[in-house]
Chain A
Amino acid sequence: MKYAMLIDQTKCIGCGACTVECKGKYEASFGVLRTRMIRYESGSYPHVKAAFRKQACMHCKVAACEEICPVKAIYRVEGENGGMVVVDKETCIGCGTCASACPFGVPQVDPGDKKMEKCSFCAHRVVNGSSTYCAEACPVGAIAFGEREALLAQGEERVKALKSAGRSKAALYGKDDTGVLLVIDGDPESLGLVKEGFTLSAAGWEAISSYGGLAVAAALGGLGYRLICDRLEEVKKEKE
């Protein structure tokens, strides 16, 4: 992905400006949000720290949701400015498999149209060289949008500055794995994030797939699999 977002959680005040700005621009049912704020705490009173995390699609380099979607509804936007992970709502059958696979708990099935809803990285704007709505809205500049290379440098710079100010746990999250980069101050777990290096390579996915039917039962159980098939049938009928 040529473009990235650098979200600096050490600047985020958890106000929700990004959430409302995004929500107002994309149609989805009440309460289905493409991005939301979560407040995390670590320690116990009075030695407590709190921080916010903007929880939205991370646009993983190898995306679990894309790999696992049984109907290939999740795909990459093509082109020079593309690379973001998006959902083809016409193909999506709303089975929610992606939701259970995502390491960030991002995809949601909208109860209205029964389609998966998640952050698209404002793909339709970004392919034309525009920024994302949330980056343009954040009042304190916690969300930077730009070319990945530049943002990587900016992120490292920021981490260096934080460290020299005594915040030894400052880190840049997502360098190798995700399209969205995060500046965090603490272990990834303290912000509800999986450890870095979580992303399986494409080869890894191949390997898992080759285990064949054995894994199916373990993964979703026969029931889960039947649900996918049933829903697919339903969708086909609806279309006819």
Chain B
Amino acid sequence: MPPTDYDVVIIGAGPAGSTTARFAAASGLRVLLVDKRQELGAPIQCSGAISRHALEQVGIAPEAEFIHEAIYGFAIYDQHGDREVHDYRRLKPDEYGSEPGKKPLGYVVDRRRFDRYLMTQAERAGAEVWLKTEGLGYRPEADGYCTVSLRRYNQAIDIRTRILVGADGLQSQVGRWAGLQTHIKITELAGCLQFIVDRVETEGLLEIVTGHEWAPGGYAWVFPKGHGYAEIGLGVIATMTDRPARWHLDKFITQSFFRERFADCRILEVQGGGVPLAAPLRTQYADNLILVGDAARHVNPITGGGLHTAVAGGKIAADYIIGHLADGLPLQDGALEGYQRLWLEELGDKMWKLYGIKTDIFHNMNIPERDRQLYATMADYFSPTSEFKKI
């Protein structure tokens, strides 16, 4: 009998966990992927914007099953409604468009279907997947492996594994099990609320509205959601306002320069969540354990986007695990530090740089000046010449 039940146990079947599971299982490792939910992705806590490049990079085909709508560019607004548009259908007409032979820049995906699709791919690659299964804790053992405690349909189960991956999202408990410093500062977690609406026109662009007036500490957005629907949302930093996100979203809808555009809107769904506009965790590994995705705060601190970094990070985590286990290296006493180094090299260093840019903007206490900086930074970030185009 092998000394462990699995080589890798992954807690959380979001984009990060399922991508890690898919690559690890495809290499022949024995992988168990668990999620406490009954339906992945639900309730939705995400707007679903992801670039085509991000999908391609990790071998995810753009399937109709999970795509709400194709995206061709960005429109960035200042607080008065002046805007800068980067429409790739005009910038690179030979490459981007909806006509045959041309492609979109990205997609707005349905997280319920997207997450289920990614889980299915992991399953088909050979991973075992258990839904309705909550991770409760883990214990590194003297023999170099570890025991993970799960609860599945009320039944307590202990599993022995070589590596545990915490892919349990923003509310991550796995890092806390290992005593890692996972706390997010209140000044760096945006409280977000969004409505899926009918009767708001969109133009195949992700629209981003900056300005303290509308979203103190964050920004507001209008995304196309397919079938003629749109998504209106915003995120705010609690220390920059006395009001909850909901109050700001009502104000944005009824008082902003978009009030006429939104005048007839009908709310079809209400969603929300927290977005860390924070630095990645300084330590993302412990004995037998690594963290990936939101659990490691792998989120772009300028845009709040975490889907690209979740799937890209999932691949990095899997590549690392495959190599490390194949070499039969130790798993405890700092032995997994190489994961973090690999991640920093491939993604993290750029994210630290973005964190620096973001921090400089929000440390400016002069609001009109800060508004100008944020608008300029966002407009530049999404431009075709941006050095960060690929995150």
Q: Do A and B bind each other?
A: no
